[in-house]
Amino acid sequence: MHIKKHLSFKSLRKSLSKQIISFADQRQVGKLSYSQHDALMSGFACMYFQDPSLLQFQQEMEETQNRNNLRTLFGVTDIPESTQLKDIIDNTASTNFRGIFNEYFYQLQRGKHLEEYQFIDGLYLCSIDGTQYFSSQKISCKKCLTKTHRDGTINYSHQVLQAAIMHPCKTEVIPLMPEDISNTDGQKKQDIELTASKRLIPKIRKDHPQLGLIMVGDDLYSKQPFIETVLSERMHYILVAKPSDHKIMMRNIELNKAKVKILKRESKDRTYLYQWINNIELNGREDTLSTNYFRLQIIKKDKLGNEKVTATHSWITDLTVTEKNVEKLVKGGRSRWKIENECFNTLKNQGYYLEHNYGHGEKNLSYNFYLLTLLAFYFHQIFELTDKLYKANRAKFGSKVHMWETLRTYIKILVFETWESLLKFALKPDNYNVSWTPP
């Protein structure tokens, strides 16, 4: 069950360590109890094994066995205390992490795994969406977004705009470096998702200058300013377009209904009705963009043959819609949900505890914990794509939650020299003669 060396846990971890060691450390040399590497890597290890108490157990192993899994697996020399770990992570510039995301993306390209994500004409789908990962009415910092309720209470939150490469036929997603949605000193207006998107799109293009991208998003993004940003960065788009938010465009379509093309696909109990029209004005502005509109209606038949529209989905795109590609474009538009289901839902509800308050800090702690969690998720997505041993464990345990519960149990009582040895043990523990005496 071999994995390509450059995508193995060892190589990815070493690459992460190398990047972290290169981070600028603003602390005074004489006041360094723990290295920045040990603090960040310890935080990453907690996210990797989805266990906030990991450091405590590994410290106990170090005291009783003079060895621990943080050292063998993650290269941590000294396990930092919680307060110092948080202080170091809080003072680490979040922009440092960008190179790590880009490095892993390059390694997937090198291994030809990115080719599996080509969607149409050599282009890749990149879905973007915002999510909240911290909320409180008591804890806050200068970067917190605020919302004042009618009763006068104020809610403080942190949000992020996430981008990820995905494909309609794949469950694994490839996260890109996100954009923090937060307030900054001197900022008059509160930061919002759309404003963050105008920062994120140019950064994605700078990170991946030659990558052909189709930006996929919900109805929030199907407005001219965002589309112009996308087009200016040599990208394409497929964006949800609700009729209620595009009344002028819908009127233009009605005026040109003779040009609307139709394709029907019949199944046993339902009809898939595809409709599209190219070169339609997006809005009523003098400088309005011309766009292409397409729609899917799902029509269900009952036992008596009566038909009822059960779902309607509509999008706009700069790609020319034809009879040959309309079904594929619909799949691309509907894959927008993958960033919610495969990314955010996994991070929030399948063991990563994205919304857990690991500590808020004064500068970057909250966002950096999000980034460390996302990097741990990135590791696991790479293994889902490339590592047969990892996938064998996934098949054995059935659910991710069960698998990680088992792995956490093993690393609390045994020290493993490598990640692969842990996976092999978890897969067939009866093959090993292990004796253990509780301390």
Q: Per residue in 297-344, pLDDT tens?
A: 999 988 777 889 999 999 999 999 999 999 999 999 999 888 887 777
Tell me the mean pLDDT in the region 398-415.
Answer: 93
428 found inside a domain = no
Listed residues 300, 320, 347: the one ending a domain: 347
Both 254 and 295 in one domain: the answer is: yes
pLDDT for residue 438: 57
Both 181 and 259 in one domain: the answer is: yes
> Chain centroid to CA 323: how far?
32
Both 246 and 314 in one domain: the answer is: yes
Tell me the mean pLDDT in the region 138-153.
Answer: 90
Both 89 and 234 in one domain: the answer is: no
Note whether 48 and 41 are within 8 A (CB).
Answer: no
Question: In terms of pLDDT, which residue wins out, 388 or 6?
Answer: 388
Closest among 142, 88, 84 to 362, alpha carbons compared? 142
pLDDT exceeds 60 at position 437: no
Look up the domain containing 138 and give its range. Answer: 113-347
Both 378 and 250 in one domain: the answer is: no
Both 278 and 230 in one domain: the answer is: yes
Residue 338: partners with Cβ closer than 8 Å, 6 or more residues away: 127, 164, 166, 168, 173
d(CA 156, CA 139): 7
423 found inside a domain = no
Q: How many domains does the chain have?
A: 2
307 found inside a domain = yes
Both 292 and 163 in one domain: the answer is: yes
Both 237 and 200 in one domain: the answer is: yes
Find the helix packing angle between 54-65 and 36-48, rounded to 10°: 110
Helix H or strand E segment including 163: strand 154-166
pLDDT exceeds 70 at position 413: yes
Question: In terms of pLDDT, which residue wins out, 261 or 1?
Answer: 261
220: number of Cβ within 10 Å:
17
Look up residue 74 and give its two tokens: 């993650």
Note whether 19 and 11 are within 8 A (CB).
Answer: no
Note whether 204 and 213 are within 8 A (CB).
Answer: yes
Closest among 6, 70, 4 to 37, alpha carbons compared? 70
Listed residues 325, 347, 369: the one ending a domain: 347
d(CA 288, CA 61): 65
pLDDT exceeds 50 at position 1: no
410: number of Cβ within 10 Å:
16
Q: What is the pLDDT of residues 21-58, one digit of tens each?
A: 999 887 766 667 889 999 999 999 999 998 888 888 89
Query: How buried is residue 384: exposed, middle or buried, by Cβ count under 10 Å (0-12/13-18/19+)?
Result: middle
pLDDT exceeds 90 at position 208: yes
Q: What is the pLDDT of residues 84-130, one digit of tens each?
A: 999 999 999 999 999 999 999 999 999 999 999 999 999 999 999 99
pLDDT for residue 359: 78
Three-class secondary structure of residue 304 per DSSP = coil
Look up residue 392 and give its two tokens: 């064998």
CA dihedral 366, 367, 369, 372 (to 10 degrees): 180
d(CA 3, CA 353): 28
Name the average pLDDT for the chain: 92
Q: What is the pLDDT of residues 230-246, one digit of tens each?
A: 999 999 999 999 999 99
Both 241 and 147 in one domain: the answer is: yes
Both 163 and 72 in one domain: the answer is: no
433 found inside a domain = no
Q: Percent of the chain at pLDDT above 70?
A: 95
Note whether 117 and 166 are within 8 A (CB).
Answer: yes
Note whether 172 and 165 are within 8 A (CB).
Answer: no
161 found inside a domain = yes
pLDDT for residue 355: 66
Phi, psi of 279 (to 5 degrees): 55, 60
d(CA 358, CA 94): 16
Tell me the mean pLDDT in the region 6-30.
Answer: 90
419: number of Cβ within 10 Å:
24
Both 135 and 277 in one domain: the answer is: yes
Look up residue 290 and give its two tokens: 């011309």
166 found inside a domain = yes
* CATH number of the domain within which 290 lies: 3.90.350.10
Q: What is the pLDDT of residues 66-82, one digit of tens each?
A: 899 999 999 999 999 98
Range ranked top by mean pLDDT from 11-20, 180-189, 395-404 = 11-20
Sign (positive/negative) of CA torsion 402, 404, 407, 412? negative
Both 69 and 152 in one domain: the answer is: no
pLDDT for residue 195: 96
pLDDT for residue 38: 96
